[in-house]
Amino acid sequence: MARTIDQIRASKLPSNMMQFAARGALQVPPAENIEILVYLALHNKVFGELARMTLAGWDEKACLAAASDPQTAREVLDYFVSPDNVRPRLLPALLENPSVPEAQLVKLATSAMRDTVEVILKSKRALSLPALVNVLKSNPYLRKEEVELLRPKPSEPVAQPSAPVPTQPRAVEVGSASPPQPDASMVEGSSAKATASEGDDTTLSPAEHDEDVAGYVKDHAADIAAEGEKPFQAIGGVVELLGQDYFPVVDSANIPEPAPAPSATSAAAKPGAGKSAAAPHKPPAEPKRENALQKINRLDVKGRIQLALKGNKEERSLLIRDGTKVVALAVLEAPKLSDGEVEKFASQKNVLEAVLRQIPLKRRFMKNYIVVRNLVANPRTPLDLGLGLMKNLLIADLKNLSANKEVSDTIRKLALKMFKQKLEEANKK
């Protein structure tokens, strides 16, 4: 057993045996097979991708046994608990495994999405680690009532007046709660917001708008401070995103430029002539038309966050491509964001990876099959996210995905494998 992994590490096995190893086909115990696959996935450039694909579809019981065993190789545990590879069903065992270092769990909590946060909150070991708890408190996907559960440990008085205390934080922490949170207390408000028309802001009171913005700004204060005065910079370039036909409005906005200088000098020199000269300049002095892009370019980070939460569909379509992460993610928290917009976001290649990672957080979005399909077929989607969503695809979409040359080879091969499996199951019925 040990000699096999040693030979692989020393590259002493022939290529055909290395390929068998990357497919998990060696006649070794399951735990040893997993260790070999992890080593190849991390260190072998030739067979690494094949090993990663094999691990993605590896028997869950064998993986669970390895994740639970304190004697499992450190490299295997680190691989399974990595944010790029973690499986929700393995996570409880990994969190309780004393051989998984605290530093790795803190790293996981730092970038944890909603489903991972839920599992962490159920782990006694995880909640006993102060460093992890501190990181978890700043996670934007933590719900407000969960924040309160983490806070009572240092200060007991906060836990007792649970009824009055949320009245003030509720207005502040709405942004961090994310759509899954208002299931009970804010169903009426959220449904009213969802049914609002795209261009009508009158359905939400200024107070409600301010609460959303204030909550988001407070929860992401550190990120906003880190970005400073970073201007709007679209992923992929603005001209590519909007097209050149979008920009002539800028020229028309500058038409009145000759009016101010001559009128001021002539009016000072000749009062009578000034009046006659001012007359022809009145028509061009109409309010300048400003397109959405010009409006966005004037705003700082906080201003763009406010527009992302309160703006219209066109403004959201621009801000989702903002290279500033905290601004782009604010778009997904907009009360009036429609499923149709999210379907487009899920298929776009010119958005931040963080945007694609946050979409699956929203249960409402994941109920939309088109969103799931677009995410898997998007070459920009992180590999671990695409692999996790593939099981939800229909046979026809798996077949199309297996022939999609834009996605990674790992996705294509696994799609073909799953397509054949589902086809066989369908034929048996």
Q: What is the pLDDT of residues 86-123, one digit of tens each?
A: 888 899 999 999 999 999 998 888 877 778 888 999 99
- Given a contact cutoff of 8 angstroms between Cβ atoms, the answer to whether 332 and 348 are in contact is no
Look at residue 125 in the predicted model and tell me its pLDDT: 93
Residue 13: φ, ψ to 5°: -80, 145
- The confidence score (pLDDT) of residue 219 equals 82
Q: pLDDT by residue (tens digit) across 247-299?
A: 344 333 443 444 454 444 444 444 544 444 444 555 555 555 678 888 898 89
pLDDT at 289: 64
SS3 290: coil
Is-contact 18 46, C-beta < 8 A? yes
Q: Which residue has the tokens 């004393």?
A: 98
Read off the pLDDT band of 166 (50, 70, 90): very low
Nearest partner of 179 among 365, 375, 370, judged by Cα: 365
Name the nearest CA neighbour of 121 among 138, 104, 103, 109: 109
Predicted pLDDT at 286? 55
CA distance to 184, 225, 232, per residue, from 299 (Å)? 35, 15, 8
Listed residue (56, 103, 105) closest to 413, CA to CA? 56
312 SS3 class: coil
- Say if residues 132 and 105 touch (Cβ distance below 8 Å): yes
The pLDDT > 70 percentage for the chain reads 72
Helices (H) and strands (E) in the chain, counts: 32, 0
Residue 375 has pLDDT above 90, yes or no: yes
The confidence band for 56, taking pLDDT boundaries of 50, 70 and 90, is confident
Q: What is the pLDDT of residues 211-229, one digit of tens each?
A: 778 888 888 888 888 887 7
Higher pLDDT, 345 or 215: 345
Task: Determine the pLDDT at residue 191.
Answer: 37
> Could you tell me which of 230, 428, 184 has the C-alpha nearest to residue 323?
230
Q: For residues 328 and 236, is the Cβ–Cβ distance under 8 A?
A: no
Q: Mean pLDDT in the chain? A: 77
pLDDT of residue 359: 93
- Which one-letter DSSP state was computed for residue 289? P
pLDDT digits (tens, 9 = 90+) for 136-151: 887 777 887 888 788 7
